[in-house]
Amino acid sequence: MGLIKLTFVFCGMLYLSAAGGMFLLQRSLQYFPTHRDPAPEALGLTDVTRQSLATPDGETLVLWVAPPTGDRPVILFLHGNGGEIADRADRFAFYQSRGYGVAFLSWRGYGGSTGKPSETGLLIDTKTAYDHLRAQGIAADHIILVGESLGTGPAVQTAAQNPVGALILEAPYSAAVDIAQAQYPWLPVGLLMLDQYRSRDHIAKVRAPILILHGQGDQVIPYTSGKYLYTLANQPKTFLSLGPAGHEALSDPATWTTEAEFIDRLFPN
């Protein structure tokens, strides 16, 4: 009997140690920033301005901006949890080629932006960039929020609280906490996770047209997660499958072309 009790105590201590370690390290498992900060022209981009934005909580963000052609809308792009905006220069150039205004936000702690990423921080970052575009004279109904993977969470919450022309979500999650719970079923993730990004609690407040794109073979954020989020959204809304592709489809120009066709229907030349 003593050995059984000792075994239970040992297993309990091991579990608590593992749970404590996961709690302390969780943000290093959620965010994967790199810290390059090249000039846009060094990556072959033209007519791009590198701007510095001051956040209300004292951080400095990098924003790459290119003007629209005529009365075309402006895309505020919110990138995923890996890499930085410099890794997405080809996407930036694609949006430019369609005549859109383009604003690529570098999250705090990524690229040349200061600070460390968190849900609260990324929401502040998004609102700071949104307010900057509005202050530059961009009408709210000409701002298109495009969220990539992790960026879909701040995109949803920002569109729920501010008017936008459209919301485009690439491989969105219903909530980051849902994804984490599926990956770590042995942990009380709902109690331990700091940055839960509960998009499912906010998307019904979005009043703009919504496009959701998701690959059926996505192993990072399950296809079913994007489908579920879609069911919670208001009309007008569109869900488009990217076929059997996985998360890598977000880097495919064919995906960006699908987005552009959606935007062009809303904002015809």
Q: Please give the residue that has the higher pLDDT: either 159 or 16.
A: 159
Query: What kind and span of H or E run contains 83?
Result: strand 82-83
What pLDDT digit, counting tens, does each position of 62-101 carry? 999 999 999 999 999 999 999 999 999 999 999 999 999 9
Q: Which residues, 6+ apart, have CB-to-CB distance to 5 below 8 Å?
A: none
The answer to whether the peptide bond before residue 236 is cis (omega within 30 degrees of 0) is: yes
**What phi and psi, each to the nearest 5 degrees, are found at residue 206?**
-80, 130
Whole-number pLDDT of residue 185: 86
Are β-strands 60-66 and 49-54 bridged in parallel, bridged antiparallel, or unpaired? antiparallel
Over 50: is that where the pLDDT of 10 sits? no
- Count of other CB atoms within 10 angstroms of residue 220: 17
**Inter-residue contact 185 to 214 (CB < 8 Å):** no
Q: What is the pTM of this model?
A: 0.93
Query: What are the structural domain ranges in the chain?
Result: 31-266
Mean of all residue pLDDT scores within the chain:
92
What's the rounded Cα separation, in Å, for the pair 113 and 111?
6
- The CATH architecture one would assign to domain 31-266 is 3-Layer(aba) Sandwich (3.40)
End-to-end CA distance of the chain: 79
The pLDDT assigned to 188 comes to 83
**pLDDT at site 184:** 81
